[in-house]
Amino acid sequence: MLRSLVQNPRVRARVLERVDEFRLNNLSNEEVWFRELTLCLLTANSSFISAYQALNCLGDKIYYANEEVIRSILKSCKYRFYNLKAKYIIMAREKVYGKLKEEITPLADSDQQLAREKLLNIKGIGMKEASHFLRNVGYFDLAIIDRHLIDFMRRIGAIGETNVKHLSKSRYISLESVLKSIALNLNISVGILDLFIWYKETNTIVK
């Protein structure tokens, strides 16, 4: 079933168009990279749509507004975790903005897992969020394990019952290895496989 989806010309064209956007992000400036990081901070424990809407509400204020302003904007946009995420955005900005691309690029170019480890030092960024960020700036060798991928793997019999909200780091890596095996069998990168599974589960490619 998944193989036929990967080979479907219409779906494949849409996925590869999205992949090209991520590759363009890789060449973009620090502002684009920090915007993608902010998106991943907002996506944690929220839907992608909610996070994306909140990011658009914030606009350029992610680069300079104080915590109170960011909190107020998130709240007005009906984003649920406006207190916590405002704090995380400010902490991330103070920690990495201005050097994010400079520090992550050489690591990711040589070892994407090392780059992910580096990103875990940012408050609010876990394994899923770090993998999501790296995929969105053009690196495709890590899996973004969310409830959609968990549901998919369970339905095909690749895993048993798994609580996506309480994944240990070792369990995440174990599930990632399962997805990498599936991706290898389909001759695509695991980060691109994610887009096909996302399309299968949600009928969209917006992630």
For the domain with range 28-137, which CATH number is right: 3.90.120.10, 1.10.340.30, 3.40.50.410, 1.10.10.10? 1.10.340.30
Q: Which two tokens stand for residue 61?
A: 């204020």
Across 3-22, average pLDDT = 90
Between these two residues, 5 and 142, which has the higher pLDDT value? 142
Distance, CA of 207 to CA of 54 (rounded, Å): 14
Question: What 3-state DSSP class applies to 104?
Answer: helix
pLDDT score of 205: 64
Helices and strands (H and E) in the chain: how many: 12, 0
pLDDT of residue 201: 75
Residue 26 has pLDDT above 70, yes or no: yes
pTM over 0.85: yes
What CA–CA distances, in Å, run from 194 to 9, 43, 89, 174? 17, 16, 26, 16
Residue 114 structure tokens: 């090392």
Q: For the chain, give the longest Cα–Cα distance.
A: 49
- Residues 6+ away with beta carbon under 8 Å from 98: 30
Distances (CA, A) of 135 to 115, 138, 142, 148, 194: 11, 5, 7, 17, 10
Contact 92, 124 (CB under 8 A): yes
pLDDT band at 151 (very low <50, low <70, confident <90, very high): confident
Instruction: Tell me the catalytic residues.
Output: 128, 146
Which residues, 6 or more positions from 99, have their beta carbon under 8 angstroms from its beta carbon? 30
Q: Domain map of the chain by residue range?
A: 1-22+143-202, 28-137
**CA-to-CA dists, residue 3 to 24, 71, 115, 156, 203, angstroms:** 27, 44, 30, 13, 16
CB 165 within 8 A of CB 154: no
pLDDT tens digit sequence for 122-150: 999 999 999 999 999 999 999 999 888 88
- Dump pLDDT digits (tens) for 167-202: 889 999 999 999 999 999 999 999 999 898 888 777
Nearest to 13 by CA among 195, 198, 201: 195
CATH architecture assignment, domain 1-22+143-202? Orthogonal Bundle (1.10)
